[in-house]
Amino acid sequence: MEPREVKLYGAWGSAHAAMARNALALKGVRYEYVEEDLDNKSEALLRLNPVHGKVPVLVVDGRPLAESFVIIEYVDETWPEGRGYPPALLPREPLARATARFWARFFHDEVSPLSRAVVLADAEAERAELAREMKARMAVLEAGITEDFPCGGGGEDGPFVHGRSPGLLDVILGSCAAGTRVLSAVSGVEIVEPGAMPRVHASVAAFDELVAGFGTTVPHELLLARLLERKARSRAAAA
CATH number at residue 24: 3.40.30.10
Residue 177 lies in a domain: yes
pLDDT digits (tens, 9 = 90+) for 79-97: 988 677 778 999 999 999 9
Does any domain span residue 238?
no
Task: Give the domain-ending residue among 83, 111, 141.
Answer: 83
- Tell me which residue range forms the domain holding 106: 94-233
Higher pLDDT, 163 or 20: 20
- Same domain for 115 and 219, yes or no, is yes
> Are residues 143 and 61 part of one domain?
no
CA distance 194 to 181: 13
Same domain, 103 and 221: yes
- Domain boundary residue, one of 28, 54, 83: 83
Region 138-146: mean pLDDT is 97
Asked whether residue 214 carries a pLDDT value surpassing 70, the answer given is yes
Q: Is the pLDDT of residue 41 over 70?
A: yes
Is residue 37 domain-shared with residue 137, that is, in the same domain? no
Q: What is the mean pLDDT of the chain?
A: 92
Per-residue pLDDT band for 220 (boundaries 50, 70, 90) equals: confident
CB 118 within 8 A of CB 133: no
The CATH code of the domain that includes 179 is: 1.20.1050.10
Task: Give the chain's domain count.
Answer: 2
Angle at 49 between CA 234 and CA 46, to 5 degrees: 60
Is residue 184 scored above 70 in pLDDT?
A: yes
1 assigned to some structural domain: no
Same domain, 68 and 120: no
Q: Same domain for 176 and 204?
A: yes
In a domain, 71, yes or no: yes
Residue 189 phi, psi dihedral angles, 5° rounding = -115, 120
Mean pLDDT of 189-207: 96
Is residue 159 located within the same domain as residue 72? no
pTM value is 0.93
Burial pattern 172-200, b for ≥16 Cβ within 10 A else e, equals bbbbbbbbbbbbbebbebebbeeeebbbb
Examine the domain organization and report whether 116 and 216 are in the same domain: yes
Q: Among residues 83, 107, 137, which one ends one of the domains?
A: 83
Shared domain check, 218 and 153: yes
Q: Are residues 79 and 115 in the same domain?
A: no
